[in-house]
Amino acid sequence: MTPTLSFALSHRYATILAFDVKIERDAQELADSLGVKIFQADIIYHLFDKFTSYREELKQRKRDENKHIAVFPCKLRVLPQYIFNSRDPIVMGVMVEAGIIKEGTPLCVPSKDRL
């Protein structure tokens, strides 16, 4: 894969890590116009920290963009004393044992035939 093709496919990950060098103004302007993020530091550990925090920021932004369509897995335990309506719409109390449950999350009751 050529660098141009790689940049065209995933430009949001386009970064330049500049260790112990000065960034020229025209290079910075070109990077800004192309959407390339430049990280510059004189200490390699600071450069690494800047880049890893940027990657985490990108991951969090992507999670926030897709959280309205994502289904988060969870494990629930139905609390029998808090079943208020057992027909449509089902209204009951649950204890979340693992994961995250949000409004609109589809529920499945596993049986021996299907899990």
Rg of the chain's alpha carbons, rounded to an integer? 24
Token pair 């070109």 in the structure block, residue? 30
Q: Does domain 15-66 have CATH number 3.40.50.10050?
A: yes
Looking up tokens 């020229």, which residue turns up? 24
Residue 2 has what pLDDT? 60
**pLDDT digits over 59-111, tens only?**
999 888 887 787 778 889 999 999 998 888 888 999 999 988 888 788 887 77
**Beta strand pairing call for 74-85 and 37-41:** unpaired
* Sequence ranges of the domains in the chain: 15-66, 71-103
pLDDT in tens, 1-48: 565 555 555 667 789 999 999 999 999 999 898 888 999 999 999 999
